Amino acid sequence: MKTIYKLFLSIIFFVLSGCGAVPTNDRYADKKAVDAAKQPEVVTVKEILFDFKPFETKLSFSEQDSAAPENLLLWYHFPDQSANRKMLKTSGYRIQLLSTDDYIEAQKMENSLKTVFNTHQVYIKFESPFYRLRIGDLPEIAQASELQFKLNQLGFKNHSITQDSISIRIK
């Protein structure tokens, strides 16, 4: 039994002392020398001096030009969302342009519609499992057909008129 124990201890000693050996040379030394030889030579480029002064453009502004025109906000007309106006919920029509399960796709189309039609409200309505993108608060079907025609002319295809609950502002 003692001989087996001594044999076992000597094997463990041999394994542990052999694994702890430190190499005396760097085994990657040859590879480093080859990589160093492949390095391109560093070439310094002389700075090209060029005088831009003769080509400089002088800009001058008068105070008259810097004043913003009063009708600038005409182009950025968004519906007034103030709290003093009352909203009336009633039955009406909207144009449904998209029905998808991808919310990001619906948001992208919503943003493109808001840039084209800034006078109409754009809605994303979630009806499980789809996001439905609808535009407009139109009380008459004739107005809905007119908006549908405009959307078709602008390249928005595959849309339909849907009956929905709409919000109308009371003045």
Q: Where are the domains of the chain?
A: 93-170
Query: Smallest Cα–Cα separation from 153: which of 117, 121, 109?
Result: 117
pLDDT, tens digit only, all 171 positions of the chain:
778 877 777 777 776 666 555 555 666 656 666 565 566 655 555 555 666 677 777 777 666 555 555 555 555 555 555 555 688 889 999 999 999 999 999 999 888 888 887 777 888 999 889 999 999 889 999 999 998 898 888 888 888 999 999 988 776
Q: Is 148 exposed, middle or buried (0-12, 13-18, 19+ CB in 10 A)?
A: buried
Alpha carbons 169 and 86: distance in angstroms, whole number? 6
The answer to whether 138 and 94 are in contact (CB under 8 A) is: yes
Give me the pLDDT at residue 95, please.
Answer: 92
What does the pLDDT read at residue 155? Answer: 85
Structure tokens at 88: 């009336």
Q: What is the pLDDT of residue 119?
A: 72
What kind of fold does domain 93-170 have according to CATH? Alpha-Beta Plaits (3.30.70)
CA 59 to the chain's CA centroid: 36
The answer to whether the CB of 55 falls within 8 A of the CB of 135 is no
Give the separation between CA 120 and CA 157, rounded to whole angstroms.
18
pTM passes above 0.75:
no
Listing from the earlier edge strand, what are the strands of the sheet with 86-100?
Answer: 122-127, 130-138, 86-100, 160-170
